[in-house]
Every structure is written in C-alpha cells, then in structure tokens.
Amino acid sequence: MNRRPYSVLIAAIFAVLLLLFLHSIAEILLLFFIAVLFAIYLSAITDSLQKRLAVPRAAGLLIAILLTFVGTAGVVWLIVPPVIAQTQGLIEAMPILMAGWEAQLLQLARQSPFWEQFFGTLEQGGSYTGTIVAQVGGYFRGVVPYIFSGITFVIHFISVLVMGIYLALRPALYREGFILLARPVHRELVRDILADLGRTLRAWIVGQILAMIVLGVLMWIGLELLGVPYALAFGVFTGTVAIVPFFGTLFSTLLPALFVLGTDGAMQALWVVLLGVGVHAFETNIVSPMIMERQVNLPPVLSILAVLIMAHLLHLIGPFVAVPVLCVVMVVGRRVFVHRVLEGKGFRRAIRDRPIELRLSDEGAVLIHPSAFETTVPALLEK
C-alpha cells in the first residue's frame, strides 16, 4: 500500500497548523528575538573580558550588566533632562508652527489646482494640518502593539532582560539544545549557521550603536551651528531612528526642516536638509564601513524592503527589528539555500571534521588551532 500521498497530506496539514501557531505567538517570538539580541550584546562584552582579562563568565556577565546600567544611567542623567525640556518647548511651539504650515498649505492650494486636489476639499471649519495630524494619530493608535500598553510593557521588558541574561550566562546550553533538534547529519551545518549568525548579529549590534552615537552627535552639532532651536532633541531623535534604514534618515532630516520652514523660511529649511543629507552620507560611506569592517554587507534595496515587510507584519515595532531579521534571513539563505541547494553541496556531510593539527618532526610536538574544537574546518578557513 502506497502511503506517500497520506504522508504528504499529513505533513501539509502539520505545516499549516505550525504556521498558524507561529502567527498567533508572533509578538512573543519578537520578544524572544529581542532577548537574543540583548544576550549577544552582553556576550560581546563578557567574551572580551574573558579573553583579555581571564575573568570567569559569571563575573564578566555581571560586569557587562553593571557597565550597561551605569552607561544608561549616565546618558539619562546627562541628556534626558535637557531633551525633555527641549521636547516640551517644541510641543508648546507646535500650535504656532502648525499655523504657519496651514497658511503655506492654503496658499499653495489656492495657487495650484493640482495641490488643491491633492490635499482634498476642506469642510467648514476644517484645516489641512488638523486632517493630517488626525490621520497620523489614528494610524499610530492602531499600529502600536499591545506589548506597549501599561503593566504588560513592564512585564515584557523585564522578561526580555531576564531571558537575555540567562542566554548570555550559558549560551552553549541553549545553542547545543537547539542543535539537538536537528538530525545528526545536519547538526554540523546548524552549528556553523548559528556561529555565523552570532558573528553577524554581534557586528551589527556594535556597529549600530556606534553609528547611532555618531549620527546623533553630528546632527546635534550641525543644528547648533545653524542656530536651529531644540537641536539636542533633534539630535537624539536622529540617533534613535537611525536604527531604521532610509526611513529613519528621511524622518530625522525632514522633521527639523519642517520646523524651521514654519519659522525661518525655506532657505534655512534647505540648509537643514543639506545638513541631514551630508551627515547621513558621511555615516553611510565612511563611518559604517569602518565600524562594520564589511562584516554586515546589506544591500540598500533589501534593507528598505525588509523595513516595509516588517512594518506590515509587526506594525510600529517591526522597522526597529527589520535589519537584524534581514541579517538572519541572509545568513540562513546563503548557508542553506545558496551553498547547499543551488551549489549542490547537499546536506549530508561528515559528522565532524577533525581538528587541524600541525606536527613538528624534530620534537614531535603538536600545535592545535585555538578554534579547532569550537568550529569545523570549512568554517575555520572562512575566517
């Protein structure tokens, strides 16, 4: 009796049920992914302390947590009070600013039928800026995930921190446990992919933090030189949204430009736009290649596409995790689909390559590469 059709049907049903289950817990998986990123960040500091100072892992992790806490507290103490003050001033100035925008939009609509049709017909007592603000506000009220609501946010925030600390404390336990889920002939491939993912995400995290700092500082200094009010608040905003490719650049450049457009005119707004373009071009072409060391080479089109897809799937939080998700997809796609499927290397490989040994004929001593017991020969040769 041929049971193959029934096997295929059962596998298809199981796959559909699995996809439905994953969709139902998408927010929880997102929290776990953020916890993994946090664990990789802590592991980067912990591993560095272990290698350079021979600090035990538990002590190194504690130092990493303390350094993170002290650094975060220092940033909060130095930057948050003036940023809050400037943000409050910016909010208070918004009515006057919006009045200026409204006058310019009305004038533009009167001068051009195209813009009048584009903006739409105003009802009695209505305004263009009011309509835009209502649409934007309604959008964000609809897309903010439930993880940002009240006590639930606190619970999830603490859960991410705790999961990240446990993952960083004993990474081998969770890594080897995940590898055991694969068939024995595939475990070396899974181990190599996880190692590649760890290197890639670590490079992205370190590079992204440094790039955000550079962008925020340069934008702050440039806006101060141009005499733009609330320069520090705009600089912090620029550094924060820099995690979102292209769209972060767009918003962080247009927001201060729109602000000075309503107060100082089009020429000052043009200078702000040129400043934003120059700062982001400097970061993209000089700072990022130096920081990333070409370990994370993401095509711009794929980055923008990833942001759009993640925003559609996970709404507001999606763009902030789009790039690390793209890194994971590219590494897995390259190591599995390209190398193993398209290039015909297959999935059934030797259980494990033997460590590299260099035997010296005169004394009979043996030198073993320090990474030989942590990775396979092909992965070792790729370094």
Q: Is 368 helix (H, G, I), strand (E, B) or coil?
A: strand
Per DSSP, what are the bridge partners of residue 366?
359
Domain boundaries, the chain: 174-349, 353-383
Cα–Cα separations (whole angstroms), residue 3 to 8, 13, 14, 17:
9, 16, 16, 21
pLDDT score of 268 more than 90 = no
Who contacts 331 (Cβ-Cβ below 8 Å, separation ≥6)? 193, 196, 197, 200
State the pLDDT at residue 143: 47
Q: How far apart are CA 380 and CA 376, in angstroms?
A: 6
Q: How far apart are CA 156 and CA 38, in angstroms?
A: 14
Token look-up 């009070």 returns 81
**Angle at 275 (CA atoms; ends 274, 276), nearest 5 degrees:** 90
Reported as a single tens digit per residue, the pLDDT across 34-86 is 999 999 999 989 998 888 888 899 999 999 999 999 988 887 787 777 777 77
One-letter amino acid of 20: L
- Look up the pTM and report it: 0.70
pLDDT score of 150 more than 70 = no
Reported as a single tens digit per residue, the pLDDT across 228-241 is 888 888 888 888 88
Structure tokens at 339: 């190398």
How far does Cα 162 stand from its chain's mean position? Answer: 20
Q: How far apart are CA 142 and CA 268, in angstroms?
A: 35
Reported as a single tens digit per residue, the pLDDT across 108-141 is 767 777 666 666 666 665 666 666 665 555 555 5
State the pLDDT at residue 146: 46
Who contacts 321 (Cβ-Cβ below 8 Å, separation ≥6)? 30, 33, 34, 37, 310, 314
**Which letter, b or e, does each residue of 231-256 get, where b requires 16 or more Cβ atoms within 10 Å of its Cβ?**
bbbbbbbbbebbbbbebbbeebbebb
One-letter amino acid of 198: G
Q: Please give the span between the terminal C-alpha atoms of the chain, in angstroms, as a whole number.
A: 51
Q: How far apart are CA 60 and CA 169, in angstroms?
A: 9
Structure tokens at 37: 């990123």
Region label for 126, one of left (φ > 0), alpha (ψ between -120 and 50) or beta (otherwise): beta
Q: How far apart are CA 43 and CA 175, in angstroms?
A: 13
